[in-house]
Amino acid sequence: MTAQDIIKDIKARKLKPIYLLHGDESYYIDLLSDYLEQNVLSDAEKGFNQTIMYGKDTEVMTLLNAAKRYPMMSDYQLVLVKEAQELKLDKAAEQFQAYCEHPLSSTILVLCHKYGKFDKRKKVYKVIEKNGVVFESASIYDNKVPAWIDDFAHAKGYKINPKASALLGEYLGNDLSKVANELEKLMLNVAKTQEIGTKEVQDNIGISKEYNVFELQNALARRDVFKANQIINYFEANPKANPLVLIMGNLAGYFTKILKYHYVTDKSQLAKELGVNPYFVKDFDVAARNYNLGKTFEVISLLRAYDLKSKGVDSTGNTEHGDLLKELIFKIIH
């Protein structure tokens, strides 16, 4: 069951007595808990029938006592537990499981278990799965972020250029809460009639127009020494906005895609095999011409070696991040 399936059921008033929202990705947990908080009860009903608790500050028996109350002048009461991963469930495991086996149909109990999965080996997990809704919010892979951005923009009534989606994905990573927040801010400054391009992204999200990881990848693909050096000099002067660990991670992902390119026999399937928008296949054609299979393996080895050096491992010389990046880029291009 997807997040949208759950929202559809809530809209249709097909409510369950328990919702366990858990996983590594906070975005969908927040999305669903916010939707339940805003839509289960009317504003008039919330005063007597909505209870919000925090796991760290809540005893399990206090939670259960709240869940066992009956609503006042309403069909339902909502008990929402934020940061439920902090609940000490083991202290009242039997009582908690007993409630989950026979939950009050007029109570909607929502458990927001963030930053990790609920232990599926526990019997109570199966009980909640049987009597309520269990939703796992898993992290998405980095290469899926641009497509997620496209879908998010489309759902909001906006159109976004593939290059802009890729730039956002490279810059923001796969923290969907962060991505969604930046997109919301961006959309405040762009009309729905206007396509969101790289200029709008750069103007509104604080990404340098010319000096970003995406442009570094393009410069390396073309073996453009001058442009690559311009970019890494900018990175050195602005280390907080361009941490080496982020740059290394992006370059490793990029050259891994070039490696995959060389092994794809049916080049018409490149976009699918590389996990990129078809718009970018031509860029990988250029990169693959400039980095044959042997050179690509060499670059990936260099990236691993310099990642270790940046962490002080196997390093006998300068470990300043700016100097290491300059050395690395020189060796990649030459």
Q: Three-state SS for 208?
A: coil
CATH (domain of 166): 1.10.8.60
pLDDT score recorded for residue 279: 86
Report the distance separating Cα 242 and Cα 213, nearest Å: 8
Q: Are residues 19 and 132 in the same domain?
A: yes
Name the domain count of the chain. 3
Report the distance separating Cα 146 and Cα 118, nearest Å: 28
Report the distance separating Cα 168 and Cα 214, nearest Å: 9
The whole-number average pLDDT for the span 213-229 is 94
DSSP bridge pairs for 133: 19
pLDDT tens sequence across 48-78:
999 999 999 999 999 999 999 999 999 999 9
| DSSP labels, 65-89 | HHHTSPPSSSS-EEEEEETGGG--G
Q: Are residues 37 and 150 in the same domain?
A: no
Last residue of a domain, one of 181, 205, 229: 205
Q: For 115-119, 179-183, 202-206, 269-273, which range has the lowest pLDDT when averaged over its residues?
A: 202-206
How high is the mean pLDDT of the chain?
Answer: 93
Q: Are residues 106 and 72 in the same domain?
A: yes
Report the distance separating Cα 255 and Cα 56, nearest Å: 43
CATH (domain of 321): 1.20.272.10
* Cβ atoms of residues 244 and 325 within 8 Å: yes
pLDDT tens sequence across 263-288:
999 999 999 999 888 888 999 999 99
Last residue of a domain, one of 136, 157, 192: 136
Q: Which residues lie closer than 8 Å to 309 by C-beta, 6 or more apart? A: 315, 319, 324
Confidence band, pLDDT 50/70/90 cuts, at residue 39: very high
Q: Are residues 91 and 21 in the same domain?
A: yes
Q: For 20-29, 68-77, 135-144, 293-302, which range has the lowest pLDDT when averaged over its residues?
A: 135-144
Looking at residue 117, its amino acid is K
Confidence band, pLDDT 50/70/90 cuts, at residue 34: very high
Full residue range of the structural domain in which residue 105 is found:
3-136
- Using the predicted structure, report yes or no on whether residue 100 has a pLDDT greater than 80: yes
pTM recorded for the entire structure = 0.76
Instruction: Report the Cα 285 to chain-centroid distance in Å.
Output: 29
Question: Please, what sign has the CA dihedral across residues 321, 325, 331, 334?
Answer: negative
Kindly state the percentage of the chain with pLDDT values over 70.
98
* 237 backbone dihedrals φ, ψ, rounded to 5°: -80, -15
* Cβ atoms of residues 81 and 39 within 8 Å: no
- Using the predicted structure, report yes or no on whether residue 140 has a pLDDT greater than 80: yes
pLDDT score recorded for residue 14: 97
Last residue of a domain, one of 81, 105, 136: 136
Beta strands across the sheet bearing 107-113: 50-54, 77-82, 107-113, 18-22, 133-136
Kindly state the percentage of the chain with pLDDT values over 90.
78
- Using the predicted structure, report yes or no on whether residue 311 has a pLDDT greater than 90: no
Q: Which of 162, 187, 126, 104 is nearest to 283 (CA)?
A: 162
pLDDT score recorded for residue 317: 62
